[in-house]
Amino acid sequence: MKEYKFKPIGYVKTKAESLPRHWSVSDVEGEIVIKPEYQPGLRDIKAGDKIVVIFCFHKSPAFSPEKLIQKPPHLNETRGVFSTCSPHRPNPIGLSVLEVIDVRDNIIKVRRLDMYDGTPILDIKPYIEYKPEGE
């Protein structure tokens, strides 16, 4: 079966040792350190922006079928994995919406971090809010 391969464009750097379960409840600060060859692509990211950071849950063990239904830590009931943000998922891809504090050279200083130090970053995109049709 076809596989798709991705190389990190950078890594998370943070001194935080414990992290909130999700970016939406985090005020942790840290850095996204981008490989110098991709630095030109950061040109239009600036303080105050919200960015979507796509990363790899690199510490997650291989997925097993009993994880198709899970109990999220903040709920008292179970959910299908695709309705959770669990790091245990068929493809261990994570997504955080972070607030940009500053961009200097190849380093984006961010707030709302929920990723461990050393987390490999796969992509960065602008955050675009969902609006109902016609708005």
What is the nearest approach in angstroms of a second copy to the Cβ of residue 18? 19
Tell me how far apart the alpha carbons of residues 63 and 77 are, in angstroms, rounded to a whole number: 21
What is the nearest approach in angstroms of a second copy to the Cβ of residue 56? 5
Q: Where does this chain bind a second copy (CB under 8 A)?
A: 1-9, 22, 24, 27, 37-38, 40-45, 50-52, 54, 56, 58, 65, 68-69, 79-85, 89-91, 93, 95, 97, 120, 122-131, 133
* C-beta neighbour count of 79 within 10 angstroms: 14
What is the nearest approach in angstroms of a second copy to the Cβ of residue 104? 15
Which CB atom, from 9 or from 113, has the smaller least distance to a second copy?
9
Per DSSP, helices labelled H in 71-120 are: none
Residue 5 burial by Cβ neighbours in a 10 Å radius (0-12, 13-18, 19+): exposed
Tell me how far apart the alpha carbons of residues 105 and 88 are, in angstroms, rounded to a whole number: 34
Which CB atom, from 14 or from 53, has the smaller least distance to a second copy?
53
